[in-house]
């Protein structure tokens, strides 16, 4: 029997997950239903992929094995009330909502079953997301395996303790924005030195991609790889000196710490608003 998955919200992340799942090896074992308030988004996916487009969430959804919430945090109350009383306590609820805890989901859905909270990133759109996942106590091995299969279809997925979710938001959730700034700045550096902009962007992008791939594929610490390309008295060590004197590493460490704090602050504010 196929695993039935309902994806609620087919924006950037929901559509990436739908496509990733249906392109993965897991595709033959699943059936996917999708729902979004925007019928055009649902229709666009249904035209190209083998999914079951839903007109609304009014029917009983007790047969769903998994429900993946891909809506914005502020829409959780509406979706949970739409689904309230219509799901089984055996269904695995997966949330990708930033700042929403497994307890928040349980409370909103009045649900005592398995819940997995995840933080993917925008690279899900090209199947290379970095996703961190945590789970509540009701999750069993089979639920965890299911979540791993789902998020492996859009990149790499790792389990963490829920207390680290704000830090993950600051690192890999917001991280693509930091790297876009690096690519942009490297491109401007090339342009300053006379390289045409389109070629400079191409070289910068491929440099970031290739460098990351080398760390990953060789499983070598980046400091070792950096030393390997740093000839004594050469060009690279001069550039490294410049980067160090402007505090590149300290800046990036602070960026992750600041984004983590902001994530924590927003979560705590939301929770205190809920209580008052
Ligand atoms: N984008 C990222 O890089 C990223 C990374 C990690 C986690 N996340 C999380 O992923 C979630 C989705 O982000 P996204 O970028 O995919 O957002 P998005 O593109 O805005 O997609 C959300 C979709 O859900 C629809 N929606 C709203 N209320 C609904 C309802 N009651 N029933 C069904 N569909 C509804 C939205 O319609 P409307 O546009 O009309 O509201 C929209 O089409 C967020 O909670 C975010 O925290 C995003």
Per-residue pLDDT reduced to its tens digit, 66-105? 999 999 999 999 999 999 889 999 999 999 999 999 999 9
Question: Measured between alpha carbons, how far is 179 from 241 in angstroms, rounded to an integer?
Answer: 20
**What dihedral angle (degrees, nearest 10) is formed by the CA atoms of 85, 72, 273, 172?**
120
* Class for the domain spanning 3-165: alpha beta
Q: Is the CB of 167 under 6 A from ligand 1?
A: no
Q: 248-275 and 175-192 helices cross at what angle (nearest 10)?
A: 150
Ligand 1 center–CA 35 separation, angstroms: 12
- DSSP assignment letter at 194: T
The domain spans of the chain are 3-165, 173-255
DSSP reduced 3-state for 13: helix
Any ligand 1 atom below 6 A from CB of 100: no
Ligand 1 centroid vs 25 CA: distance in angstroms?
26
pLDDT digits (tens, 9 = 90+) for 212-224: 999 999 999 999 9
The 10s digit of each residue's pLDDT in 177-206 is 999 999 999 999 999 999 999 999 999 999
DSSP state of 120: -
Please indicate whether residue 166, judged by its CB atom, sits closer than 6 Å to ligand 1: no
CATH of 173-255, picked from 3.40.50.1010, 1.10.3730.10, 3.20.20.80, 1.10.443.10, is 1.10.3730.10
Q: How far is the CA of 14 from the centre of ligand 1 (A)?
A: 7
Q: Whole-number mean pLDDT of the chain?
A: 95
Out of 16, 42, 72, give the residue to mutate to test ligand 1, the one with the largest number of ligand atoms within 8 Å of its CB.
Answer: 72
CA distance to 92, 125, 157, 246, 249, per residue, from 130 (Å)? 21, 11, 6, 29, 21
Residue matched to tokens 């927003």: 266
Matching fold, domains 3-165 and 173-255: no
């Amino acid at each position: 029997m196929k695993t039935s998955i309902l994806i609620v919200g087919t924006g950037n992340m929901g559509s990436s997950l739908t496509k990733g799942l249906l392109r993965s090896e897991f595709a033959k074992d699943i059936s996917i239903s999708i729902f979004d308030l925007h019928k055009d988004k649902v229709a666009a996916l249904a035209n190209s992929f083998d999914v079951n487009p839903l007109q609304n969430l009014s029917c009983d959804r007790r047969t769903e094995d998994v429900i993946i919430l891909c809506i914005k945090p502020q829409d959780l109350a509406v979706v949970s009330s739409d689904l309230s009383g219509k799901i089984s306590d055996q269904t695995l609820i997966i949330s990708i909502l930033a700042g929403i805890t497994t307890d928040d989901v349980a409370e909103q859905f009045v649900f005592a079953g398995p819940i997995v909270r995840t933080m993917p990133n925008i690279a899900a759109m090209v199947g290379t997301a970095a996703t961190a996942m945590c789970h509540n106590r009701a999750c069993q091995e089979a639920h965890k395996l299911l979540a791993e299969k789902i998020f492996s279809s859009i990149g790499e997925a790792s389990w963490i303790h829920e207390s680290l979710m704000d830090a993950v938001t600051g690192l890999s959730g917001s991280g693509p924005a930091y790297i876009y700034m690096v690519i942009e700045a490297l491109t401007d550096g090339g342009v300053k030195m006379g390289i045409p902009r389109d070629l400079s962007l191409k070289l910068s992008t491929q440099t970031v991609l290739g460098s990351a791939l080398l760390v990953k594929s060789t499983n070598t610490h980046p400091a070792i790889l950096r030393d390997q390309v740093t000839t004594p008295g050469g060009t690279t060590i001069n550039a490294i000196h410049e980067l160090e004197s402007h505090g590149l590493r300290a800046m990036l460490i602070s960026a992750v710490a600041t984004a983590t704090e902001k994530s924590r602050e927003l979560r705590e504010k939301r929770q205190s608003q809920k209580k008052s």
